[in-house]
Structure 1
Amino acid sequence: MTDAQPNLSRANTPPVAARRPVSEQRHGVMLVDDYAWLRDENWREAMHDPSLLHADIAAYLAAENTYTDTYMAPLSSLRQTLVAELRGRIAERDTSVPTPDGDWFYYVRFREAGQHPIFCRAPRADNDARPAEAPMPEDGLSGEQILLDGDAEAHGRAYFSLGEVNHSRDHRLLAFALDERGSEAYTLHVRDIQTQREIQPPIPNTTGNLMWSADSATLFFTTLDDNHRPCKVWRLALGDAPEHAELVYSEPDAGFFVSVDTTQSDRFILINAHDHATSETRFIDSATPWATPRLIAERVEGQEYSVEDDGDDFVLMTNADGAEDFKLVRTPIATPAREHWQTVVEHEPGRLLLDHIEFADFRVRMERADALPRIVITDKTRGLDHAIRFDAEAYSLGIAPGYEHDTATLRFIYSAPNTPDETYDYDMATRTRQLRKRRAVPSGFQPENYVVRRLHARAADGADVPVTLIHHVDTPLDGSAPCLLHGYGAYGISEPAAFSSSRFSLIDRGFVHATAHVRGGKECGYRWYANGKLAHKPNTFSDFIAVAEHLAATGYSAAGRIVPHGGSAGGMLVGAVLNQRPDLWGAAIADVPFVDVLNTMLDETLPLTPPEWPEWGNPRDDVAAFETIRSYCPYQNVSAQAYPPILAIAGVSDPRVTYWEPAKWVAKLRAHKTDDNPLLLKTHMAAGHGGLPGRFTALEETALIYAFVLDAFDMAQSATDSAPDNNANTPIRANEVY
Structure 2
Amino acid sequence: MTTSHLHKLNQFFIRKHVIFKRLVLPRCYSSDNSCPTSGAERYRDSQRHFSRRVRATRLRFSAVPNYSRVYGRHHVYFIDTNGIYRIDQRRDNSLEKLLDLERFLEKGGSGRWCVQRIRLSPQETRVAVTLKHSHEEKQRCVIISVAHESLFPSVQPRVIFTLEKVFSFEWATDDVLFYSTLDGLRSSSVFCLDFSKNGKISSVFEESKLDVFVEVALTRDQKLLTINSNSRSSSEVHVIDKENPSHQPILVQRREPDLLYHVEHWKGSLIILTNTGPGQEYQVVQASLSKPSVDSWLPLFTPHPGFTIKDMDIIEDFGVLTTRTPSHHLGLTVISLNKPDVLYFMELPSWSCTFEPKKADVRGKNNTLEFLISSPVHPPNQFCLLPEEALVLSAKDNKRYTDELNAVITSRLEARSKDDTPVPITLFHAARLEALKEAPMLVHVYGSYGRDLNMEFCPKKRLLLELGWALAFCHVRGGGESALYWHRQARVEGKRKSVDDLVACVQHLFSSGVSSSSLTALTARSAGAVPVGALCNLHPHLVKAVTLQAPFLDVLGTMADSDLPLTLEDREEWGDPVGNPEHGRIIATYCPLHNITPQRYPSMLLTAYSADSRAPLSGTVKYSEEIQKAVNSHFTLNQTSERGRKPNIVLNVQPGAHHTQEDFDLTVNEDALELAFLYKELGLDLPRPVRKKKR
CA distance 1:327–1:478, change in 2 (3 Å): closer
Question: Which position in structure 2 is the counterpart of 1:486?
Answer: 444
Give the aligned CA root-mean-square deviation in angstroms: 3.1
Map 1:242-261; keep pairs closer than 5 Å.
245-261=201-217
Question: Which position in structure 1 is the counterpart of 2:374?
Answer: 415
Q: Deviations over 1:323-346 (max 9, x none)?
A: 522111111101212221111112
CA distance in 1, matches of 2:674, 2:601: 18
Secondary structure at the aligned position of 2:122 is classed as: coil
Residue 686 (1) aligns with residue 674 (2): no
Kindly state the Cα deviation for residue 559 of structure 1 after the two structures are TM-superposed: 1.9
Kindly state the Cα deviation for residue 620 of structure 1 after the two structures are TM-superposed: 1.5
CA distance 1:13–1:316, change in 2 (3 Å): closer
CA distance in 2, matches of 1:181, 1:239: 34
Q: CA contact under 8 A between 2:135 and 2:657: conserved in structure 1?
A: yes
CA distance in 1, matches of 2:28, 2:192: 56
Residue 159 (1) aligns with residue 112 (2): yes
Secondary structure at the aligned position of 1:228 is classed as: coil
Query: What letter matches 1:180 in structure 2?
Result: H
Query: What letter matches 2:372 in structure 1?
Result: I
Corresponding residue to 1:346 among 299, 302, 306: 302
Q: CA contact under 8 A between 2:145 and 2:160: conserved in structure 1?
A: yes
CA distance in 2, matches of 1:101, 1:80: 35
Kindly state the Cα deviation for residue 318 of structure 1 after the two structures are TM-superposed: 0.7
CA distance 1:328–1:335, change in 2 (3 Å): same
TM-score in terms of structure 1 length: 0.81
Question: Which position in structure 2 is the counterpart of 1:186?
Answer: 139
Range 577-586 or range 100-109, more displaced: 100-109
Query: What letter matches 1:480 in structure 2?
Result: E
Which residues of structure 1 form unaligned runs of 5+? 1-10, 18-62, 127-140, 730-738
Map 1:246-645; keep pairs closer than 5 Å.
246-320=202-276, 322-346=278-302, 348-370=304-326, 371-381=328-338, 385-392=343-350, 395-403=353-361, 407-416=366-375, 419-436=378-395, 438=397, 446-473=404-431, 477=435, 479-495=437-453, 498-645=456-603
CA distance in 1, matches of 2:259, 2:575: 17
Secondary structure at the aligned position of 2:320 is classed as: strand
Question: Which position in structure 2 is the counterpart of 1:715?
Answer: 684
Kindly state the Cα deviation for residue 679 of structure 1 after the two structures are TM-superposed: 0.6
Kindly state the Cα deviation for residue 624 of structure 1 after the two structures are TM-superposed: 1.7
CA distance in 2, matches of 1:525, 1:94: 30
Secondary structure at the aligned position of 2:299 is classed as: strand
Kindly state the Cα deviation for residue 271 of structure 1 after the two structures are TM-superposed: 0.8
Range 679-688 or range 540-549, more displaced: 679-688
Question: Which position in structure 2 is the counterpart of 1:132?
Answer: none
Question: Which position in structure 2 is the counterpart of 1:203?
Answer: 163
Q: Deviations over 1:329-369 (max 9, x none)?
A: 11110121222111111254432222222233222221222
Q: Deviations over 1:481-516 (max 9, x none)?
A: 211000111111123655433213322332211111
Question: Which position in structure 2 is the counterpart of 1:131?
Answer: none
Misfit runs of 4+, over 6 Å: 97-100, 149-157, 239-242, 439-442
Question: Which position in structure 1 is the counterpart of 2:613?
Answer: 655
Query: What letter matches 1:161 in structure 2?
Result: C
Residue 212 (1) aligns with residue 163 (2): no
Secondary structure at the aligned position of 2:227 is classed as: strand
Range 152-161 or range 491-500, more displaced: 152-161
Residue 700 (1) aligns with residue 679 (2): no
Q: CA contact under 8 A between 1:595 and 1:662: conserved in structure 2?
A: yes
CA distance in 1, matches of 2:450, 2:131: 28
Q: Deviations over 1:612-638 (max 9, x none)?
A: 111111111111211111111111111
CA distance in 2, matches of 1:145, 1:116: 13
Kindly state the Cα deviation for residue 241 of structure 1 after the two structures are TM-superposed: 8.8
CA distance in 1, matches of 2:509, 2:105: 44
CA distance 1:167–1:153, change in 2 (3 Å): farther
Secondary structure at the aligned position of 1:636 is classed as: helix
Which residues of structure 2 form unaligned runs of 5+? 1-26, 148-155, 636-645
CA distance in 2, matches of 1:248, 1:478: 58
Q: Deviations over 1:359-393 (max 9, x none)?
A: 33222221222222211222445655222223426
CA distance 1:307–1:644, change in 2 (3 Å): same
Secondary structure at the aligned position of 1:640 is classed as: coil
Query: What letter matches 2:126 in structure 1?
Result: L
Query: What letter matches 2:676 in structure 1?
Result: A
Secondary structure at the aligned position of 1:532 is classed as: coil
Query: What letter matches 1:683 in structure 2?
Result: V
Question: Which position in structure 1 is the counterpart of 2:13?
Answer: none
Query: What letter matches 2:518 in structure 1?
Result: G
Question: Which position in structure 1 is the counterpart of 2:193?
Answer: 236
CA distance 1:625–1:469, change in 2 (3 Å): same
Secondary structure at the aligned position of 1:266 is classed as: coil
Q: Deviations over 1:205-261 (max 9, x none)?
A: 222x11111x22111111233x5211111111238898x522211111111111111
Q: CA contact under 8 A between 2:64 and 2:380: conserved in structure 1?
A: no
Kindly state the Cα deviation for residue 300 of structure 1 after the two structures are TM-superposed: 0.5
Kindly state the Cα deviation for residue 699 of structure 1 after the two structures are TM-superposed: 1.8
CA distance 1:119–1:354, change in 2 (3 Å): farther
CA distance 1:95–1:569, change in 2 (3 Å): closer
Secondary structure at the aligned position of 2:143 is classed as: strand
Q: Deviations over 1:629-655 (max 9, x none)?
A: 111111111111111110001112212
Kindly state the Cα deviation for residue 263 of structure 1 after the two structures are TM-superposed: 0.8
Query: What letter matches 1:677 in structure 2?
Result: P
Secondary structure at the aligned position of 1:222 is classed as: strand
Q: CA contact under 8 A between 2:315 and 2:387: conserved in structure 1?
A: no
Kindly state the Cα deviation for residue 591 of structure 1 after the two structures are TM-superposed: 0.6
Query: What letter matches 2:142 in structure 1?
Result: H
CA distance in 1, matches of 2:72, 2:278: 42
CA distance 1:315–1:447, change in 2 (3 Å): closer
CA distance in 2, matches of 1:164, 1:181: 15
CA distance in 2, matches of 1:109, 1:469: 34
Kindly state the Cα deviation for residue 94 of structure 1 after the two structures are TM-superposed: 6.8
CA distance in 2, matches of 1:94, 1:651: 29
Quick one: percent identity of the two aligned structures?
A: 23
Query: What letter matches 1:407 in structure 2?
Result: N
Count of aligned residue pairs for this structure pair: 643
Question: Which position in structure 2 is the counterpart of 1:37?
Answer: none
CA distance in 1, matches of 2:248, 2:125: 27
CA distance 1:702–1:169, change in 2 (3 Å): same
Question: Which position in structure 1 is the counterpart of 2:18?
Answer: none
CA distance in 2, matches of 1:515, 1:572: 16
